[in-house]
Structure 1
Amino acid sequence: MARKEANLNCVLLAQDFLPEHWNWSDTEKTHLGNIAEMGEIIKNRLENGGCEIAEMYAIKHNKDEQRIWNECKMIYEVNFTSHHVHFVIRFKKGNKLAVIASLIGIEPNFIEKPQRGRYAYDNMLSYLTHIKYAKKYQYDVHNVVTIVGKPYIEYYRERYESWIQGRAVITETELRKTFKYLEHKIFTGEITMEEIILNKEYKIVYRKYRRKIDEAFENVKHSNDLENKFLSDAQRKQNP
């Protein structure tokens, strides 16, 4: 028996300001780019469709970066992503993802459902300013627009310490992922110690995982020495 899809109690949506990406009337589209006015339109659309909104916040992201690895330079190059808006909505009475997307006027893949756990909504709120993501651009809390509910700045003040602590957890996870990437590169002979130390990001990983990275290089050297020895022994046997 197929599992029944539950109504969502909160969502995080992201979309740019291109008119063709919004299934709105021509009049509604004239408000694209004005976050507060867009929020009122989305609020009315959802409420007219039977949803009840408890809280709703929004912010324009215009300084997000996309880091692309340059294999030749062995560095990340930064490109700026297109300007876009994020809305966080908590419902008193929600609906299914497809229905919410249709009411808002965007495709469902631009709406993020809450992850499991008690902090799902809290994580959505914190994402508006990127406070938990040290590598992302840090947006000013005063740029967050409150459309429904208590002022966002109150959440920020209440949750600031916890959100900053969450940054450390995310940073630790990113370091671990980068270490596993470097370890693979070491084992395949695709990176040298010099390249690691001269790379700002990799050098931080080396400080954290120095012993394991040193061991990886030692293991590669040991296996190469054994290979050379066995090849030399085999050659001597062929040519006594």
Structure 2
Amino acid sequence: MLRTEIADRVAVLTLDRPERLNALSWELMNRLRKELESLGSRADVGAIVLTGAGRAFSAGADLRDFAASEDMPAEVAHHLAATMAPLAEVVQALPLPLVAAVNGPCAGGAVGLALLADVVIAARSAYFLLPQVVPLGGVPDLGATWVLGRVVGRARALGMSLTGERVPAERAERWGMIWRCVDDDELPDQALATARGLAAAPAAVVATRALLDSGFAATLRDQLDFEARHQSARFADPAVAAVVERFSAGEKPPSPKTRR
């Protein structure tokens, strides 16, 4: 149901229900939340990659969980509060960088899950789909209504949500919905390389995430104060001070890898 592999300070979490296109059952969501919480406290892990087994990232919530309920409205309300919301909050506040490697279809609640990651890289064959409104008659969930408008704007978020139209990975990249679209066979290596880079400075990544998230609601003055607090905390880290000293002594910073 969920596989974890750790190497070189990167944990790879794989949603492993390929026979169900990695649909997010209540059990899988709870396991994922607990595993993320566990990994977040490990000293030997500096970043996490989340991906799916087989041909899909995830088909979203497992509707068999809904159908099995004798009181569907009560069941849905309970699990939105007790299962989905805690998972989304753990992902958004994770004390480690999270890279979503979207290897195939990403639908429903899985869209919110993926977009809450710090960096989203998608295979060229992947697509994003929100079917909750049409044809299901519900609403997007697992944080999609919070994050989607922030990354693509209101018009595109509404269009995607209300029409249920597929958004291919290449369009998602053009929209700014994801960081990068790569050839399918390059996705695992690209995701791992990105995660290894982020694992070198996880605290700085998490602080930057917090700053960018707060910037949507804060005034400029509040945001400047928030930046100052985070920057002061980062420069109190001896490792950061050592880097500054090396650069001030004339050492050139490493050049970021460019996209091929």
Q: TM-score, normalised by structure 2?
A: 0.22
Structure scoring higher RCO (CA < 8 A, sep ≥ 6) equals 1
More strand per residue: 1
Q: TM-score, normalised by structure 1?
A: 0.24
